[in-house]
Structure 1
């Protein structure tokens, strides 16, 4: 079964305490590439009646949301609950949350996108109950010491899955716009599981009839066209995947400077190095793969489909999914399990109507958040570099303003 052939969840009926689904048969784009209609029944009953929060640290936290592990009481199944404030900086942001739900619905049939289980709403927040990815972020392995970091064969397998997921999104006119290690989760850490793409708060629907220009994303991963305020496209995601592959293979953030301005300068001037001790154990084919993506002109970057045909990935004999490989031996995986009680899960028709309202110019929102953590670094890299490229991840204050949805899930 291919990633796109995951059986759709059963259609949900009316559930007690739940609001009825929206009447529209499919999600419709609204201004600025946002979706405004969903099919998921929004439950108004208290969240704690069906779920209990697991003790321990949070799975993730942002300025307007927090993600916690929870247990469904009647089944004892584990989920991740994303608590999202509806009002942020004095503005009602409920529709942005609705958009995120709609994108998750659209991608419900893809194995590499996090699964939406159900949605709750209170007077102040909305709660997205999501599939639980026990392995956490791939960021942890990216910043680990070399012995514990990803091996190239691991990166090959995970990159195939990322590209399968992103290819599915792009074919359905969705751009993620915030692909980074914190937004790629693992179903298990040991043994190394499969990936789940998360956090669609910055995602947009691309339409051939309109140009979309926005400055958003995480500085280390944004494409040059974001900085120059040129139209964004599916190629914008592909740049981020190139940076992501670089980070997964080397543990180095290729464009990160001492401050935001230096980071942006490194990106716009293509100040990136493919030499040094960190590349000693990396194949030439892997470097060539990255070079097909870190290209300044968007139209010259490889697409997700083209990347999947690259020799670096084609030569790999690793199974694309550990879950499928293990199932042959009778061992099940939480990736392929279908929740028997996922009554509120639904598939959304990916085709969108051609009849749209007049285009409204999207308000420009500037957003940025820097990576927290320290990347491994060799002694040689501590020497003076000929280019202004930082070899460490670092944390900086957000650039001007944050936008809702930039969280771990």
Structure 2
């Protein structure tokens, strides 16, 4: 059941490792929610455990209580890709090319390990830190599967706007689906709107199945032919002809110097704001706000009383947890006492 992946019912909390004061994100998954899906989560964990790449959020540890599974994940605190682009004053094709280069590197690494991500989209791309030159990270493996040799991966999963034609056509599919998604992401990075869009899902699917997209004027007038060529090779309807990550990494727009240095910030950010409105309830856990908040409270050193939580069984990640909700203002008024988590480590 593609849409209802584990991410849909797990919550993410921020934790501090007491010994080191290092901050991590902990994915708390109620075991109730896993009934009948145990294989899914075991698979997700098996996949995550094997992955060590500079542009992929890593799984650092796993704990279990009677009621929950806890995945201790590397914390990335630089915010979402689109937000960062909108905040910039200057943004060029070369910036987009460097972003896509990092994503291609990470996905090539996965593909070389026989792993298909299956749900690559901008919301899953987060900056590692607030630094101006921060790297980008792929953050969500809710739908990834290890590709068995010769297996038919044909669950219709992923997000409609980014999903490859062969997935919708219910044909067997493979690593090529990720390359299609990278093409879609590249397209959006250069114009600020998606290549396929329709209020009506059936019509949207039809567009994707035919791979019907355009480089519309005026939005694409200042974009290089090389960039368009790169996108056409990834958003290629026939997955047998579609570029692999290796081929894409060798394209001059990625490894050469054909990506232009012209500032396209104004038009791209205007389109992003228009087409990717942030809906509060969909917003990913905002790590930076919470990190700032925790730094202010100096967690682990100055807190006393009931908020000082010590897990009942000794484990090296004794952590203080904070709820996901972004309630900075309230918490400032009410003081640190109310930041009690409702999900504790074993």
Report the TM-score, using the length of structure 2 for normalisation.
Answer: 0.71
8 A contact 1:87–1:93 mirrored in 2: no
Distance 1:297 1:186 in 2: 32
- 1:160 is displaced (CA, Å) by 1.0
Distance, in Å, in 1 between the alignment partners of 2:270 and 2:27 is: 31
Partners of 1:317 and 1:244 in 2: CA distance:
19
1:377 equivalent in structure 2: 271
User: For residues 184 and 260 of structure 1, what CA distance do their matches in structure 2 show?
Assistant: 24
- 1:136 aligned counterpart, secondary structure: coil
| Shift in CA distance, 92/249, structure 1 to aligned 2, threshold 3 Å | same
1:225 aligns to what SS in structure 2?
A: helix
Alignment check: 8 A CA contact 1:250 1:278 kept: yes
Pairing partner for 1:161 from 80, 97, 102? 102
Distance in 2, Cα, partners of 1:407 & 1:132: 11
Shift of 1:316: 4.1
1:67 is aligned, of 12, 21, 24, to: 12
Q: Deviations over 1:82-113 (max 9, x none)?
A: 1223333x8333332221121112112x2221
Preserved contact between residue 81 and residue 127 of structure 1 (Cα < 8 Å): yes
- Checking the alignment, whether the CA contact within 8 Å between 2:44 and 2:142 is kept in structure 1 is yes
Is contact 1:175–1:237 with CA below 8 Å preserved after alignment? yes
Tell me the equivalent position of 2:63: 120
1:103 aligns with 2:44: no
Q: Distance in 1 between matches of 2:172 and 2:285?
A: 24
Q: 1:82 and 2:23 equivalent?
A: no
Unaligned runs of 5+ in 2: 1-5, 260-267, 288-346
- Is the Cα contact below 8 Å between 1:62 and 1:407 reproduced in 2? no
How far apart are residue 150 of structure 1 and its match?
Answer: 4.4
CA contact (8 A) 1:252 1:375 kept: no
2:170 match: 229
Determine if contact 1:198/1:408 at 8 Å carries over to the other structure: no
**In the alignment, is the contact (CA less than 8 A) between 1:250 and 1:279 conserved in 2?**
yes
* SS of residue matched to 1:376: helix
Distance (Å, rounded) in 1 between the aligned partners of 2:59 and 2:7: 19
Are the aligned partners of 1:185 and 1:197 in contact in 2 as well (CA < 8 Å)?
A: yes
| Aligned equivalent of 2:179 | 238
Q: How much has 1:393 moved relative to structure 2?
A: 3.8
Report what 2:264 is aligned to. none
Partner of residue 140, structure 2: 199
* Structure 1 residues 97 and 229, CA gap change in structure 2 (3 angstroms): same
Matched residues, number: 270
The CA deviation at 1:139 is 3.3
Question: Is the 8 Å Cα contact of residues 139 and 181 (structure 1) preserved in structure 2?
Answer: yes
Any conservation in 2 of the 1:156–1:316 contact (CA below 8 Å)? no
- Native 8 Å contact 1:375 1:393 kept in 2: no
Query: What is the Cα deviation at residue 71 of structure 1?
Result: 1.6
For residues 269 and 35 of structure 2, the distance between their equivalents in structure 1, rounded to whole angstroms, comes to 37
Shift of 1:283: 1.8
Structure 1: how far apart are the matches of 2:197 and 2:186? Answer: 15
**What per-residue deviation string (whole Å, max 9, x for no partner) do you get for residues 32-62 of structure 1?**
xxxxxxxxxxxxxxxxxxxxxxxxxxxxx95
Partner of 2:338: none
Q: Which runs of 5+ in 1 are unaligned?
A: 1-60, 319-373, 379-390, 397-405
Aligned ranges 1:253-402 → 2 under 5 Å: 253-316=194-257, 376-377=270-271, 392-393=275-276
Contact (CA 8 Å) 2:7, 2:142: kept in 1 or not? no
- Within 5 A, what are the aligned runs for 1:398-409? none
Q: Larger deviation: 220-229 or 75-84?
A: 75-84
Instruction: Supply the RMSD in Å over aligned alpha carbons.
Output: 3.0
Note the alpha carbon deviations across 1:144-163, whole angstroms, 9 max, x for none.
37x54743222111211111
CA shift, 1:243, in A, is 0.4
Residue in structure 2 matched with residue 28 of structure 1 by the alignment: none
SS in 1 for 2:105: helix
